[in-house]
């Protein structure tokens, strides 16, 4: 899924020229109950769209081209000139609301018009943009507007930072591309406010680029973003931070050598006061340091490796802003992240070197919180029917759970077995969604 563009971007900045350059790389997509669009991102016919645009096809009986059985579902993709081709669903992630399709042509050597990918960091508020979509089945409709805001992190559950638009977006625009006036892809339209006019959102292009890299990664696919710091949410806000007018912040208690935060220049003792241009004391969780810490952690984990994260810290009474290139969680760290996300279990880090992982805490409001006192200190020894002998074993099983939950958009009943230090066994079924 290499990035490619077979047509040069126009230099005039004319909307007419930009539409002419990009429209052959846009397809309309329709399923039994959904209208949407997609955009071709390489000459081999790889299409990016929203998960919810093709979700119906994942639940329908799977048939291949010509009605023959197939291992993967297909949808129909229509071009500007009316040509239709089947497109194979290669990968679908409900959590990201993104999907990758591959066009199927009778000519195996056919090459397709593809868009050039822009850069999220160059997008500016007030910048003119246009979207091409399939609103109400009106194929390849162009809508023009501006970028109203960037880094809206409260729209999707996974806190992915979105672009806000004022373009006319309707049912059927989902999955369609957002371009600048040079014809570069800036994002994919993903949502609108049903109760408002002129408020819509798009997944930014750097996140799309990270998604493509993660799916193509032969080493294991999707890894959560990480920067390599620990924050002390229990510590009091230092006086020198308050003196600068900040009412909330998170002291950094550890910076892991060799990880992105250290490479960017963060140090132990720095106090985090702003993330992606948003002051922490302006967030709804500002009065609850533990909740504030969870929000920051969630924001970092939602990013793909390679995306950039701008943060501001107070160091020795002075404000310092750095840009961090987000890294990928190690397999061990990913297992611990998945244990938190899917099971609500925080594992103790000092026990991950050997033997079944031990529960250090149970997150409130999660499936096991009602029996937390019985589980703290116990070891996770079974997931489904597999015995767990290490954190790596746990990570492999939770990766399978993640794949089902995210790609098939359905809940999974998971058997989790625990054992305390006396050897007593505790088995529970938990719903993961």
Q: Catalytic residue numbers?
A: 52, 97, 174
Q: Are 269 and 315 in contact (CB under 8 A)?
A: yes
**CA-CA distance, 328 to 334, in Å (whole number)?**
9
Among candidate residues 362, 399, 405, the one with its CA nearest the CA of residue 383: 399
Among candidate residues 86, 137, 115, the one with its CA nearest the CA of residue 26: 115
320: tokens are: 């310092």
Q: Are 115 and 130 in contact (CB under 8 A)?
A: no
Half-sphere exposure of 99 (CA within 13 A, CB side): 33
**CA-CA distance, 360 to 369, in Å (whole number)?**
13
Q: Are 92 and 216 in contact (CB under 8 A)?
A: no
Q: Which residues contact 266 (CB under 8 A, 6 or more apart)?
A: 229, 252, 255, 311, 313, 322, 324
What angle, rounded to 10 degrees, do the helices at 391-408 and 331-338 form?
A: 60
Number of neighbouring beta carbons within 10 Å of residue 135: 20
For 75, 257, 382, the CA distances from 151, given in Å and listed in that order, are 32, 28, 40
**CA-CA distance, 366 to 364, in Å (whole number)?**
6
Q: Are 357 and 379 in contact (CB under 8 A)?
A: yes
Grouping H, G, I as helix, E, B as strand and the rest as coil, residue 134 is coil
**CA-CA distance, 188 to 194, in Å (whole number)?**
18
**CA-CA distance, 331 to 431, in Å (whole number)?**
24
Grouping H, G, I as helix, E, B as strand and the rest as coil, residue 402 is helix
Grouping H, G, I as helix, E, B as strand and the rest as coil, residue 421 is coil
**CA-CA distance, 264 to 323, in Å (whole number)?**
7
Helical H runs in 13-91? 15-22, 51-59
Q: Are 22 and 142 in contact (CB under 8 A)?
A: no
Q: Are 138 and 35 in contact (CB under 8 A)?
A: no
């Amino acid at each position: 899924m290499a990035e490619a563009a077979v047509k040069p971007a126009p230099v005039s900045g004319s909307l007419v020229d930009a539409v002419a350059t990009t429209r052959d790389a846009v397809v309309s997509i329709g399923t039994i109950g959904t209208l949407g669009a997609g955009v071709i991102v390489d000459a081999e016919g790889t299409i990016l769209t929203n998960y919810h645009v093709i979700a119906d096809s994942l639940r329908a009986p799977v048939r291949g081209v010509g009605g023959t059985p197939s291992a993967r579902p297909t949808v129909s993709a229509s071009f500007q000139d009316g040509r239709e081709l089947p497109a194979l669903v290669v990968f679908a992630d409900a959590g990201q609301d993104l999907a990758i399709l591959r066009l199927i042509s009778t000519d195996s050597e056919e090459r397709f018009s593809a868009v050039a990918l822009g850069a999220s960091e160059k997008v500016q508020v007030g910048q003119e943009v246009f979207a091409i979509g399939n609103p109400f089945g009106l194929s390849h409709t162009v809508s023009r507007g501006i970028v109203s805001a960037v880094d809206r992190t409260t729209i999707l559950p996974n806190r992915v930072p979105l672009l806000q638009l004022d373009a006319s977006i309707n049912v059927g625009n989902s999955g369609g591309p957002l371009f600048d006036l040079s014809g570069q892809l800036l994002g994919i339209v993903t949502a609108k406010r049903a109760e408002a006019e002129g408020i819509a959102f798009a997944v930014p292009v750097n996140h799309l680029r990270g998604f493509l890299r993660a799916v193509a990664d032969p080493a294991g696919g999707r890894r959560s973003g990480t920067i390599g710091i620990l924050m002390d949410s229990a510590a009091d806000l230092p006086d020198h931070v308050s003196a600068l007018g900040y009412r909330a912040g998170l002291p950094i208690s550890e910076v892991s050598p060799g990880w992105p935060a250290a490479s960017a220049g963060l140090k132990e003792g720095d106090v985090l006061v702003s993330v992606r241009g948003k002051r922490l004391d302006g967030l709804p969780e500002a009065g609850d340091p533990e909740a504030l810490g969870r929000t920051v952690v969630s924001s970092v984990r939602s990013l793909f490796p390679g995306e950039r994260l701008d943060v501001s810290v107070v160091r020795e009474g002075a404000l310092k802003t750095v840009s961090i290139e987000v890294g990928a969680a190690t397999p061990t760290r990913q297992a611990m992240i998945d244990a938190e996300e899917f099971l609500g279990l925080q594992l103790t880090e000092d026990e991950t070197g050997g033997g079944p992982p031990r529960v250090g805490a149970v997150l409130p409001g999660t499936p096991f919180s009602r029996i937390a006192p019985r589980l703290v200190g116990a070891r996770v020894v079974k997931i489904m029917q597999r015995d767990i002998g290490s954190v790596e074993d746990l990570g492999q099983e939770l990766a399978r759970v993640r794949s089902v939950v995210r790609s098939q958009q359905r809940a999974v009943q998971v058997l989790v077995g625990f054992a305390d230090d006396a050897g007593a066994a505790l088995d529970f079924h938990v719903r993961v969604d």
